[in-house]
Structure 1
């Protein structure tokens, strides 16, 4: 018995050694069979052994490079192989604001020290000490700061006096809605209806619609699904039908220069912004100027982003975009980066001043809208936002995976002055005014597409599972013949063969015991 026990380790060693030699001499991996071939010279075995180790290290290094690229660059943005017609996307939402913040004839009589004068200074972005008003609260809705701006500013039917869309003349109140944005009361064309845009009603603060209303039917445009399949005869947000000025939007603006009181910039005129119909407009920092006495043409350049469905499995921080149904906003029904950042700003005001300015989303139903008593705090909060205090929240506002942005072509904005006497214009509206009045107060603006099609940017996985296995498998196969068959061989020699040999040994031992009995 002692001899048998002492010989057991030797038996196992010889078994493992023999099996390893058999595996290495018969494996599908290139080069290993030469290492264990005793018929070859020692230097030949050493040569192939070193070659195999070097190739193995190179292959592992290359495979790690592929893995690191897979981890660091999970998504790549490419150009769509198909063209998208402009009829498949909305005509851009266009917001136009007058640089004049107050009508002189309505505010010139305000006396310093009064509540109206204090609100006027805030409207005109003037430095003012609001300490004496820190306990003042609006008694009625008419006393709010938003209502004050409505009373002292030009209405849309006064600012936009002529509208032609797709070769048809419309009452401007049928095309434009009056909204309060960061530049005050502005006129917005082709924005999504508030019912589809906001989660809860805030029309007394967010949406000042002209009394005539909009004649077309409001529909819900979705950034992924697009337009509904069944569309009424007249609807908005409208979509483009063709290229050129004749198929675009032409508006005539009246600046009412003689009634200017204060300007949001260093000059007279208007500001304009083109953006997605479901976005939050920001005119103060992003608006483009429109000069009075000129005709300005803006060629629309759509920039669309799409995403393939298989990138949903990639973490949003790694793919750097968010699908619209992945993140809920507090006020907006649709997620976009601009809407998310607007809610971050609103939250910053709530935390610092316990109120929300009229132009930001009411992220809480019972939130207080900032009034004169909050103006000192509001100015501090505005300074902190400009300095980047709310960037922690905004860092989580990733771009939308499906998004549309509109840009005016910066190389095609010619201005045609009206300051030459004898110049005739085609718009019938100008026949009612003298050349001097046109040159001083009026402006023509054209918005139009210059191409019927455009290509979208598509987010797709840079290296998916299939591509990753192909790249890694190609490297391993090229270097030393690694394949799935090798894994099967390894599994056979380590597990299956050991199990079979043990079962055979166990069965033979049982038979020996039975025969002994």
Structure 2
């Protein structure tokens, strides 16, 4: 009899324990549900991708290897009226390019001739920057044909002159441009070209000609190839 009572006691104890556990679980579930209703969890999935139709084209810089044209040098020489004008510009200008851009086309630089050139430039109220911007091939002569989004554009509409560490270049879709042969400045109210279709037919195609016959000897950069910077 004693063993039977003990077994019944154990059964009642565990039954009561399970009942209390079940009730507690139900109460906690109800509390969590009420909390979820009052403060719902919102999951937002953000799309990190954007349609190509809204992306702007990159700024593209094309540099002519002809950074000292014979025609521009002859015109510049005619404007010099003061100072010792016995200087051979066709000999000194390549040294100036070598010194300014580190092109190492000549391998040696005559400092005295460069000082002579600097003296002539200053006496005629020029600066070295003026000379470096006047002598290179202009964009309107370097860029022959410009095709963009299946249309032919005047290249001067798409490109501006820009001063870079590689000399004077032509730049597309950039907020900066070389103003008044003085310095690079920002454009006011600049609007970038944006992609309309994601295919090669709408890409930018440019035909160039650096006119090697109009290049001062020893000044053609990159072995005559055009440098492109994106």
Task: Report the TM-score, using the length of structure 2 for normalisation.
Answer: 0.58
Structure 2, unaligned stretches of length 5 or more? 1-45, 78-84
Structure 1, unaligned stretches of length 5 or more? 1-79, 195-200, 209-213, 220-235, 275-517
Out of 72, 88, 92, the position equivalent to 1:118 is: 92
Decide whether aligned partners of structure 1 residues 144 and 81 sit closer, same or farther in structure 2, where only a CA change above 3 A counts: same
| Equivalent-residue separation in structure 2 for 1:115 and 1:192 (angstroms) | 38
Deviation at 1:149, TM superposition (A): 2.5
**Residues 315-341 of structure 1: CA distance to partner in whole angstroms, max 9, x if unpaired?**
xxxxxxxxxxxxxxxxxxxxxxxxxxx
1:102 and 2:73 correspond: no
Deviation at 1:115, TM superposition (A): 7.6
2:200 matched residue in structure 1? 245
| Equivalent-residue separation in structure 2 for 1:161 and 1:119 (angstroms) | 26
1:218 and 2:218 correspond: no
| Equivalent-residue separation in structure 2 for 1:239 and 1:155 (angstroms) | 26
1:503 matched residue in structure 2? none
Out of 270, 274, 278, the position equivalent to 2:226 is: 270
Out of 111, 115, 127, the position equivalent to 1:130 is: 111
Equivalent pair of 1:192/1:218 in contact (CA under 8 Å): no
**Residues 76-99 of structure 1: CA distance to partner in whole angstroms, max 9, x if unpaired?**
xxxx85322233332010110111
Out of 74, 87, 95, the position equivalent to 2:53 is: 87
1:179-198 → structure 2 map (5 Å cutoff): 179-193=162-176
| Equivalent-residue separation in structure 2 for 1:179 and 1:187 (angstroms) | 6
Pairwise CA RMSD: 3.6
Task: Tell me how many residue pairs correspond in the alignment.
Answer: 165
Aligned residue for 1:82, secondary structure, equals: coil
1:505-516 → structure 2 map (5 Å cutoff): none
Aligned residue for 1:243, secondary structure, equals: coil
| Equivalent-residue separation in structure 1 for 2:48 and 2:164 (angstroms) | 37
1:132-171 → structure 2 map (5 Å cutoff): 133=115, 136=119, 138-139=122-123, 143-171=126-154
Decide whether aligned partners of structure 1 residues 270 and 202 sit closer, same or farther in structure 2, where only a CA change above 3 A counts: closer
Out of 166, 189, 205, the position equivalent to 2:182 is: 205
| Equivalent-residue separation in structure 1 for 2:94 and 2:127 (angstroms) | 12
**Residues 22-63 of structure 1: CA distance to partner in whole angstroms, max 9, x if unpaired?**
xxxxxxxxxxxxxxxxxxxxxxxxxxxxxxxxxxxxxxxxxx
Equivalent pair of 2:137/2:210 in contact (CA under 8 Å): no
Aligned residue for 1:218, secondary structure, equals: coil
| Equivalent-residue separation in structure 2 for 1:250 and 1:106 (angstroms) | 27
**Residues 172-203 of structure 1: CA distance to partner in whole angstroms, max 9, x if unpaired?**
11110011211211100000156xxxxxx975
| Equivalent-residue separation in structure 2 for 1:193 and 1:218 (angstroms) | 12
Equivalent pair of 1:218/1:237 in contact (CA under 8 Å): no
| Equivalent-residue separation in structure 1 for 2:48 and 2:166 (angstroms) | 39
Ranked by relative contact order (alpha carbons within 8 Å, sequence separation 6 or more), the top structure is 2
Decide whether aligned partners of structure 1 residues 203 and 237 sit closer, same or farther in structure 2, where only a CA change above 3 A counts: farther
Aligned residue for 1:83, secondary structure, equals: coil
Decide whether aligned partners of structure 1 residues 253 and 146 sit closer, same or farther in structure 2, where only a CA change above 3 A counts: same
Decide whether aligned partners of structure 1 residues 193 and 255 sit closer, same or farther in structure 2, where only a CA change above 3 A counts: closer
Equivalent pair of 1:178/1:207 in contact (CA under 8 Å): no
Equivalent pair of 1:178/1:185 in contact (CA under 8 Å): yes
1:215-364 → structure 2 map (5 Å cutoff): 218-219=189-190, 236-261=191-216, 262-265=219-222, 267-274=223-230
| Equivalent-residue separation in structure 2 for 1:257 and 1:202 (angstroms) | 27
